[in-house]
Chains A and B, each alone.
Chain A
Amino acid sequence: MSTFVAITISGLALGSVYFLIASGLSLIYGLMDVLNFAHGIFLTLGAYAGFDLASRMSAAADPAGFLLTAAVAAACGAVIAAMTELVLIRPLYGRPVSQILVTIGLDVALVGLLLGIYGSNARVITVPAWLTGVTSLGSERIPNGDFVALGTGAAVLAALGWFLRRTRYGIIIRAGAENRDMVRALGINVGRAFTLVFTIGGAAAGLAGLLNSVVFNGGLVDPSQGDQLLIFAFIVVVIGGLGSLAGSAVAAVLVGLVQVYVSFYAGTSAGLAQLGNVSVVLVLAIVLLARPGGLLGRTA
């Protein structure tokens, strides 16, 4: 039984990482009708920023140092995201397909650049000792990293929820997701909201990239990790319903748990190692057949 609990926590932790990525994608798509393929790059760059900082800091191993690394990762993602919106997305206003394609182009170009600079071999972040440690829960030992991921996911969910409900820009974003023109007709400059959602999404993605490297990847950072995660994040967003933050949260948990349960209980024999991943796709297919708009999605 406690194995089940341990696996569940692991799945929730994975789901948290997915949520961090999916939340940004969902907000951006909801407000701007843009599917941001460059999100994977925000992820990867956040991880690399963390790697860079951690390799320079000797104090990276203690909680304060790690917090700083996390902050830098988030900040890096935020900055790159904001620049992407200002330089590439803005000029393409009114051409949503072009905007999507330009994010694809950016992803391709920057992954290529990273490969050129860092090579395809993974770099290693020194993972703080306390993160690799375990906490005992009953007879199971749960990696501390799981708790960190879980905690971060929950914190970001709460923060985003507060932001969207209580702040003016949060209301603008929610209104804009419904009817951008009317928001403009109220005298509000929606462009600022665009940059804001990109920045928020980028920050969350940068954080996710760092967490993923440190908690799930054994401290490895490589240029293509962003794209791998991005596909799962997309699946989460579609299952949850495009444009719905709550949907992303629910779907992220669902996908994380499915992946972990299937991998653990079925994926030990040869030829089934990827079953966990495949079953996520199956969930997607089932959800879409039953509810084409996703679990909590808006219609169209």
Chain B
Amino acid sequence: MTCADTLAIEAAGLRADIGGSHILQGVDLQVPVGGVTALLGRNGVGKTTTLRALLGLQPASGTIRVLGHDVAGWPVHRIVRLGIGYVPEDRDVFTRLTVRENLRLAETGRQARYEQVYDLFPELQQRSGQLAGTLSGGQQQMLAIGRVLLHERPLLLVDEPTKGLAPLYVSEVIDALERIAATCTILLVEQNVHVVRKLARQVVVLDHGSVVHSGPVGELTEHDVRRLLGVSGPA
């Protein structure tokens, strides 16, 4: 990354089709280095697709610069190795592997920071030998976050981490993300505006496959929220 790169992610003209539907219709996205940038929008506007496109999991056209590299057309694992951690929407932990094995899979060969992960999520250490499929939703979310924390990664893509979680877990996840955001860049997809206001520095709003609003979170008014997201108040 050169000194001139103050952007962790810079995407322009992102277009993606899924089965004949134009999900992304020219997304221009700039994610500054440091802190949390939130990607907001109603269901189905293309938030998850945007994340997947950045990772190469979703074929897309347009220019994509991640951590200073042009990654369009790269295989997924190569993009990820630039230093990206992905926490997918449905957690996607490997249910037939144990917690320990799930974590082990996320190791990259350098020294893994198990201590820090267990410090953040003590339950993961307690349930080390348990099959991930038997964990509760909240515990799986902790596993999903924990595995991207095993190594220092400059960029995290996190997709709706609080969805479907019990309130206790929600606050744990928010706290964890707050601590993590101090040392890296996070692109956070969220529908929960309350969470966004607490964590995010920048906000990008998607609608119908393109960006309709972009700016500091402080500038996002309640009126904007109602207009752009169709919700009022905290979700």
Contacts and interface: CB of A to CB of B under 8 A. Distances in A.
B101 A171 contact: yes
Most buried by B among A168, A182, A187: A187
B105 A184 contact: no
A114 B106 CA distance: 45
Interface in A185-209: 185-190
A168 B104 contact: yes
A183 B55 contact: no
Contact of B80 (A168, A172, A187): A187
A187 B55 CA distance: 10
Interface stretch (B20-28, B87-95, B176-184, B195-203): B87-95
Given A175-B97, A182-B92, A186-B106, 16 more contacts: A168-B104, A171-B105, A174-B97, A179-B92, A181-B76, A183-B105, A184-B76, A185-B55, A185-B76, A185-B92, A186-B80, A186-B147, A187-B108, A188-B77, A188-B105, A189-B75
A171 B105 CA distance: 7
A178 interface: yes
Interface of A: 168, 171-172, 174-175, 178-179, 181-190
B105 A178 contact: no
Interface string B9-48: 0000000000000000000000000000000000000000
Interface string B141-173: 000000100000000000000000000000000
Contact of A185 (B86, B95, B97): B86
B77 to A, nearest CB: 5
B86 to A, nearest CB: 5
Q: How extensive is the interface on chain B, given as a class?
A: 20 to 34
B57 interface: yes
25 contacts: A168-B104, A171-B97, A172-B105, A174-B94, A174-B97, A174-B101, A175-B97, A178-B94, A178-B97, A179-B92, A182-B94, A184-B75, A184-B76, A184-B77, A184-B80, A185-B55, A185-B57, A186-B105, A186-B147, A187-B77, A187-B80, A187-B81, A188-B77, A189-B75, A189-B77
B225 to A, nearest CB: 31
Contacts of A188: 77, 105
A179 B105 contact: no
A183 B94 CA distance: 9
Contacts of A178: 94-97
Interface string B131-142: 000000000000
A172 B81 CA distance: 16
Contacts of B102: 175
What 9 pairs across the A-B complex have the smallest Cβ distances? A184-B76, A187-B80, A182-B92, A175-B94, A185-B86, A187-B81, A189-B77, A184-B77, A187-B77
Nearest to B108: A187
A191 to B, nearest CB: 8
Contacts of B76: 181, 184-185
B83 to A, nearest CB: 9
A174 B94 CA distance: 9
Contacts of A184: 57, 75-77, 80
A33 B102 CA distance: 22
A261 to B, nearest CB: 34
Interface string B110-139: 000000000000000000000000000000
Contacts of B75: 184, 189
